[in-house]
Amino acid sequence: MKQKVMKRPVENYIVELNKGSVDLTILRNPRARRMTLRVDPKPGAATLVAPPFLDTRTAMRFVRENADWLTEKLSQQSIPVPFVHGSEIPFRGRIHRIEGLRTLRGTVVRRNQTIYVPGGRDHLARRLTEWLKDEARVALSAATTEHAVALGGDLGRITVRDQKSRWGSCSPDGNISFSWRLIMAPPGILDYVAAHEAAHLVQMNHSQAFWKLVARRIKGPEAATQWLRENGPDLYRYGVNH
């Protein structure tokens, strides 16, 4: 019996479309049962998630068959918003204005819907990013711990990163990683992702049993999934200068 040779897990190509081109990443996921094409937060980029043994030729044919859809989606990508004085960014689902104050000392301060960043404006992006990460870490740690205890999961370490492919991920040893950008989403969305990953501590799959666990903690998880699908990519346009 001839053994299948697993394709490379990640491949990158520049693919010509009907109008322009796209920076395509082919991501082979052992859990994938079919091909899924999505536009990335990075301008001009897209990812095709495919089963592990899918050949590259078939993947490319699928992309070209969906060239019109992909071209339209790429044209709708949002304008980047850097972390600079005067910019407006979402925080917990509400728009806040960034104010850089040289006279302010200490840590970042949020009052009403303004975020005050201390020190020189050359360091504003770094300081704001670190503050947002800290806020995300606190919120996600609290929510995930609460859900894990309620579901009986064995929770390991919690980390926050700027991961692009997933809002959250859970390893077999119980360590969970989140995207810090969830702190910009409405609180209910952050709570849903925390519950989702906490449920993976009990069911490391997306079976009916898994979704029953999620439903025990979150009312109407489908709405949160839809919000992330429609609005999640927009969160990646903030802070592009850092």
What is the DSSP secondary-structure string of 2-50?
PPPPPPPSEEEEEEE-SSSEEEEEEEE-TT-SS-EEEE-SSTTEEEEEE
Q: At what angle do helices 187-200 and 221-231 cross, to 10 degrees?
A: 110
pLDDT given for residue 3 in this prediction: 44
Q: Are residues 163 and 227 in the same domain?
A: yes
179 with 215, same domain? Answer: yes
- Indicate if 93 and 22 belong to the same structural domain: no
Question: Would residue 117 count as lying in a domain?
Answer: yes
Alpha-carbon distances, residue 188 vs 1, 156, 223 (angstroms) = 51, 23, 10
Closest CA to 56 of 5, 103, 117, 125: 5
For the chain, what is the domain count?
A: 2
In a domain, 159, yes or no: yes
Same domain as 215, residue 177:
yes
Task: List pLDDT tens digits, range 2-23.
Answer: 445 456 678 999 998 887 889 9
90, 235 Cβ separation under 8 angstroms: yes
Give the pLDDT of the chain (242 residues) as one tens digit per residue: 444 545 667 899 999 888 788 999 999 988 888 999 988 767 788 899 999 888 999 999 999 999 998 888 887 666 789 999 999 999 999 999 999 988 777 889 999 999 999 988 889 999 999 999 999 999 999 999 999 999 999 999 999 999 877 899 999 999 999 999 999 999 999 999 999 999 999 999 999 999 999 999 999 899 999 899 878 888 988 986 44
Please give the Cα distance from 115 to 213 (Å, whole number): 37
pLDDT of residue 41: 67
Specify the pLDDT at position 242.
41
Q: What's the pLDDT at 39?
A: 84
pLDDT at 156: 96
Determine the Cα–Cα distance for residues 190 and 150; give it in Å rounded to an integer: 17
Distance CA 11, CA 33 (A): 18
Q: Which two tokens stand for residue 90?
A: 């979402």
Q: What is the Cα–Cα distance from 63 to 57, expressed in whole angstroms? A: 10
Beta strands in 92-205 (DSSP E): 94-101, 109-111, 114-118, 158-161, 168-170, 176-179
| pLDDT of res. 192 | 98
Q: Quote the CA–CA distance of 45 and 38 in Å, as a whole number.
A: 9
- Tell me, what's the pLDDT at 188? 97
Q: Specify the pLDDT at position 5.
A: 46
pLDDT for the residue 2: 45
> Do 21 and 128 lie in a common domain?
no
Closest CA to 179 of 160, 201, 154: 160
Q: Residue 140 in contact with residue 182, Cβ under 8 Å?
A: yes
Structural domain boundaries enclosing 98: 88-237
Residue 2 lies in a domain: no
- Domain-terminating residue out of 32, 47, 75: 75
> In terms of domains, do 37 and 94 share one?
no
Residue 151 is predicted with a pLDDT of 97
226 and 129, same structural domain? yes
Q: Confirm whether 83 is domain-assigned.
A: no
pLDDT of residue 7: 62
Residue-level pLDDT at 1 = 42
107 inside domain? yes
- Whole-structure pTM value: 0.73
Distance in angstroms between the alpha carbons of the first and the last residue of the chain: 51
User: Does residue 1 lie within any of the structural domains?
Assistant: no
Note whether 176 and 144 are within 8 A (CB). yes
List of residues 6+ apart from 216 with CB closer than 8 A: 150, 151
